[in-house]
Structure 1
Amino acid sequence: MLFLLHPALELEAVEVKGPSPYGSGSREEKVAFDKDDGLVRLRFPQRIGKGEGLEVVFQYSGQIRDDERLKIGPEGGYGLSGAFWYPQNFTGDLHAARVSLHLPNTPDRPDGLVGVVPGTLDQEGYFSPILPVFGIYFAYGNYTKKSIAWRGKEISIYCTNESATIADQILKTAEDILEFYSQKFGEYPFDNLTLVETELPAPRGAPSGAQGIGGVAPPTLVFLNSILLRMGKVPTNLLAHEISHQWWGNLVPVSLKKGYTPWFSEGFATYSDALYVEKTLGRERMMQHLVKMGHLYFQSTLYLEDEPLGTCYINSPMYRPVVYAKGARVLHSLRGLLGDEAFFRVLKEFASGYALKDATLADFKSIAEEVSQKKLDSFFEDWFEKKGFPHYKISEVKMEAVEGAPQKFHISLIIEQLGEIFTGSLEVAFYGQGAEERKEIFFGERSAPLSFTLPFKPERIVLDPDYWVLREPSGDDIWPRFFRAGGAKK
């Protein structure tokens, strides 16, 4: 069996103990091991039977320095799972754990130093994660705690004195987000939520001096970067993103099962943030938010090799542009295809049906098809197996008055796809003489001639005016062609 343990830590001994909680008999003996840099290989004295469990005890010690994922200091610190400060299963399997966090009793220790670990605290002083998790997290500091009650649950924030002035606003915003998501995704799945201010490291691979990540959200816990809180403004978008991970990434857990996609975690969380923008600021602001996401992805494809959404993982330089930004836009496209009622039913059924279970893209597709009663093969093939995005163009527009009905006009045009061919529904909007009319088409070809009869002479034609589909921002999808930023203007 393989584990990861930080290279700076010295592994002194490993033993297995019984009795086995799942099998018969008992064992208690030393286990041979090799430690090569951060990789630990255990060689068990005998085969572990199917369905049998063993308690594995690691004895190790040492100090970890110069790792931004683990910071220990007299005034505060944090530990992220990725620092491997404890033996972590090499394959990343979910696991349960009990953690005792002991803060040093030294003369320079500030009064009021408080430790926070996700989960519940028992009488012996051990924290137990609320459910099996990929990693164990902690933070401690000279915190002020504030709390409110919501639906019989406690929402708390641990913050420094510098950020205490906005603590009440943060709690109120978190309460509103939880209420909104509970309506959209299903009931909040845990007994409490704790927000913690702490320093956080820069993303992996970021240049030296880069700003730390905004937040991290294991079960029941949200770390918030101190830099953002000390600006004196509630980081609403960050809160909405990180709190949504209680559903997307925790309730429906991150998985290494073949067919799992990180879109379930980060793509869903990014779109959840957009949904909260829609709820608080309106649909137009949500669309502006999503257009920015699209531009982030488009710009990244100019200098990085694009990757399909279905197979883009955290080690890719395109991970954030594809999984977060494009992923949110793809979820928005699915909403447009299914309609709001079916779309939000899909999210609720996915969250409840795969609570604490491994989920695959095929599982999600199956729920979406069952709820909507639509075949979605082409949608999932296009957006998860192909790179890129569609590039639509309107050309050869012709119009003439209908004989004997001068107020009616025959319109003919050609819609082309200039790059990879994507299949799906598109709206074609016609504007003119103060009037508007929309036609829905199903389009999946290189080029298709279309014709319509309208009760007015159009002055402008726009493909997908509400921007449901992520597409090339070239202006080719508008006639007469002109540059535009954001949504189409009537």
Structure 2
Amino acid sequence: MVDDYTPQAGDARIRIEHYDLTLDYKVSTNRLSATVVLRGRATEATPGFGLDLVGLRASKVTVAGDPRASFAQTDRKLKVRLGAPLAAGEAFEVTVVYAGAPRPRRTRWGTIGWEELEDGLLVASQPTGAPTWFPCNDLPSDKATYRLEIATDAAYTVVAGDLSSCVTRGGKRVWVFEREVPTAPYLVTLQIGRYTHESRPLGRVRGDLYYPKPMSARVASDFAPLERMMGVFEDAFGPYPFDDYSVVVTADDLEIPLEAQAMAVFGSNHIDGVGGLQRLIAHELAHQWFGNSVGVARWRDIWLNEGFACYAEWIWSERSGGPSAHAKALGHHASLTEPPQDIRIGDPGPALMFDDRVYKRGALALHALRLTVGDAAFFGTLREWTARYRGVTATTADFVALAEEVSGHRLQTLFAEWLEDLRLPRLPASTLTDAAVPPTAAIETLRQQRG
């Protein structure tokens, strides 16, 4: 169904299974010419469907096997009319040729999507920015695989996923990327800039850093803990869900860091060379488990992304010699007694879905769960969550049910207090110490106790 937080986005009558994008982009003029082939299925019998596209003009739309298909375009939608209706479950393939000068769209959450930099571009689409550069079914629940071919000026480096080839052709460099893990449209990204590339193993995961050469020393210092951080999070959350992890640092300042599928983007203002913003690096890495692999089925459950990533910051602090997660929780709990208590974390409404209280109270809800069920059941729940819902989407109800299943506790009241009540609850009594037991060790102890 269409998401009630973004009711004009997406079409519930279809599901897209694969996007094949061919893009030709000139950086100096911000001119894009593109073709996309979408393969999907109808979820119900329908005479047509809509694709989201904003600020770009489609010149041709064809549907395979349907010469009578036609289309019309509005400022938000590409409406495809079929010559013969699709039956429920029937497959279709549609090709769209389009072009224009992409630009970000203005939303209640700020300007999002395609953004020109001083010398390059980035794409930051959460929640509805993907249509600024390709026609899509823009729902967080509609995950698909992707192939992206991008031709652009040879002086630039392109980052858009798992690179499968790069060749120079006619003065341009043509990059081909594959994204074989199902990905929500808002998490598909494109980064272009004059970047130095550095490969860095992150345990078993391939790591890639892209950054302006003058920032080499700062980047080396700030991302030195990344391999250890990956290990800490794999211990806490389970195996990293992708084959690679890319980090892009832009020459421009950015308001906030940005997560994408198997990637994070930081502005030059986020990299100080002394690790002062290490929590941001932890936050964006954690999103690969929470938000990108396990996706939200609907935007009202955004705390499953942001509360979990915020709590990961506290876990990293706890495991890297900083304040414990419990100390962090106590501090943030005290600070949250000051703002108005007028938000339901489990359904904050579209205007407040990115409110900082969703992040901090969401993390506190997880800490309350940890205090209630103990480390073994808590981390066992997180690891089972990332395993059971890997590559798909889930809801708050799914998480509550799983936490009850793993812990053996009845938790409806706990989650109702933390996610549905406006009033900030008290934290449960703590038996945690600053020297927390590594998650896998705690889980093994629980298994032995249960025989």
* TM-score, L = length of structure 2: 0.74
Look at both structures and tell me which one has the larger radius of gyration over its CA atoms: 1
| Aligned with 2:137 (options 66, 89, 94) | 89
Equivalent residues of 1:194, 1:221 under 8 A apart: yes
CA distance in 2, matches of 1:379, 1:196: 39
Q: Which residue of 2 aligns with 1:102?
A: 151
Q: Which amino acid in the other structure matches residue 75 of structure 1?
A: D
Residue number among 43, 48, 52 corresponding to 2:86 in the alignment:
48
- How far apart are residue 295 of structure 1 and its match? 5.2
After superposition, the Cα gap between the structure-2 partners of 1:298 and 1:57, relative to the gap in structure 1 and judged at 3 Å, is farther
- From 266, 276, 286, the equivalent of 2:316 is 276
Give the distance between the partners of 1:72 and 1:318, measured in 2 at CA.
Answer: 26
Query: Contact 1:76/1:140 (CA < 8 Å) preserved in 2?
Result: yes
On the 8 A contact 2:203/2:231 being kept in 1, the answer is no
Work out whether residues 373 and 407 of structure 2, in 8 Å CA contact, stay in contact via their aligned partners in 1: yes
- 2:274 pairs with 1:228: no
Tell me the equivalent position of 1:138.
Answer: 190
What SS does the aligned partner of 1:345 have? helix
Taking structure 1 as reference, are residues 131 and 369 closer, same or farther at Cα in structure 2, changes over 3 Å only? same
CA distance in 1, matches of 2:330, 2:353: 18
Specify the code of the residue in structure 2 equivalent to 1:60.
Answer: Y
Deviations 1:212-263 (A, max 9, x none): 333222222111122212x333331011000001100112123239xx7112
Contact 1:146–1:167 (Cα < 8 Å) also in 2: no
- Encode CA deviations 1:398-438: one digit per residue, 9 max, x unaligned: xxxxxxxxxxxxxxxxxxxxxxxxxx9547xxxxxxxxxx9
> 1:169 aligned to 2:221?
yes
How far apart are residue 376 of structure 1 and its match? 0.9
- Displacement after TM superposition at 1:283 (Å): 4.2
- Aligned: 1:5 with 2:49: no
Q: Give the aligned partner of residue 239 of structure 1.
A: 281
1:32 aligns with 2:73: no
Secondary structure of the corresponding residue to residue 150 of structure 1: coil
Equivalent residues in 2 for 1:22-421 (5 A)? Answer: 27-29=65-67, 31-65=69-103, 69-72=113-116, 75-81=119-125, 82=129, 84=131, 85-92=133-140, 93-104=142-153, 111=155, 113-122=156-165, 125-135=175-185, 136-198=188-250, 212-229=254-271, 231-234=272-275, 235-256=277-298, 261-284=301-324, 286-294=325-333, 297-301=336-340, 306-313=342-349, 315-317=350-352, 319-390=354-425
Give a deviation string over 1:11-70, Cα, whole Å, max 9, x none. Answer: 2221112xxxxxxxxx14353223221222222222223332212111111112465532
Letter in 2 for 1:294: H
Q: Which runs of 5 or more residues in structure 2 are unaligned?
A: 1-48, 106-110, 167-173, 435-451
Distance between the aligned counterparts of 1:90 and 1:149, measured in 2? Answer: 33
CA shift in 2, pair 1:103/1:265, >3 Å: same
Contact in 2 for aligned 1:196/1:223 (Cα 8 Å): yes
Distance in 2 between the 1:137 and 1:83 partners?
8
Measured in 2, the distance between the counterparts of 1:296 and 1:213 equals 23
Flag the 1:42–1:294 CA change in 2: closer, same or farther, 3 A: farther
Q: Count how many residue pairs are aligned between Structure 1 and Structure 2.
A: 365
The answer as to whether partners of 1:145 and 1:158 remain within 8 angstroms in 2 is: yes
**Contact 2:212/2:251 (8 A) holds in 1:** no
Answer yes or no: is the 8 Å Cα contact 1:120–1:129 preserved in 2: no
Distance 1:276 1:346 in 2: 18
Task: Check the 8 A contact 1:13/1:30 in 2, yes or no.
Answer: no
Q: Is the 8 A contact 2:371 2:428 kept in 1?
A: no
**What is the percentage of aligned positions where both structures have the same residue?**
26
Q: Which has the higher contact order (CA 8 A, sep 6+)?
A: 2
- Unpaired runs of 5+ residues, structure 1, are 18-26, 106-110, 201-210, 392-423, 428-437, 439-463, 467-490
Match of 1:14 among 61, 65, 68: 61
For residue 312 of structure 2, give the secondary structure of its aligned residue in structure 1.
helix
CA separation in 2, counterparts of 1:173 and 1:33? 51
2-structure distance, mates of 1:295, 1:118: 41
TM-score by length of 1: 0.68
Distance 1:356 1:73, change over 3 A: closer
Secondary structure at 1:307 match in 2: coil
CA distance in 1, matches of 2:68, 2:163: 32
Counterpart Cα distance in 2 of 1:249 and 1:168: 27
- Given that 1:346 and 1:368 are in contact with CA atoms closer than 8 Å, whether structure 2 keeps it comes out as yes
- Give the drift of 1:99: 1.1
What amino acid sits opposite 2:227 in the alignment?
E
Instruction: Give the alignment's Cα RMSD to 1 decimal.
Output: 2.8
CA distance in 1 between partners of 2:117 and 2:284 (Å)? 26
Q: Aligned in 2, Cα 1:14/1:377: closer, same or farther, shift over 3 Å?
A: same
Bigger mean CA offset, 189-198 vs 248-257: 248-257
Q: Is the 8 A contact 2:247 2:263 kept in 1?
A: yes
Q: 1:278 to 1:367 in 2, by over 3 A?
A: same
Alpha-carbon distance, 1:288 to partner: 4.7
Question: For 2:415, what is the secondary structure of its paired residue?
Answer: helix
- Measure the CA separation in 2 of the matches of 1:321 and 1:153: 31
Which digits, 9 at most, give the CA deviation of each residue in 1:424-481, with x for residues without a partner? 9547xxxxxxxxxx9xxxxxxxxxxxxxxxxxxxxxxxxx999xxxxxxxxxxxxxxx
Letter in 2 for 1:274: W
- How far the C-alpha of 1:88 sits from its partner, in A, is 2.2
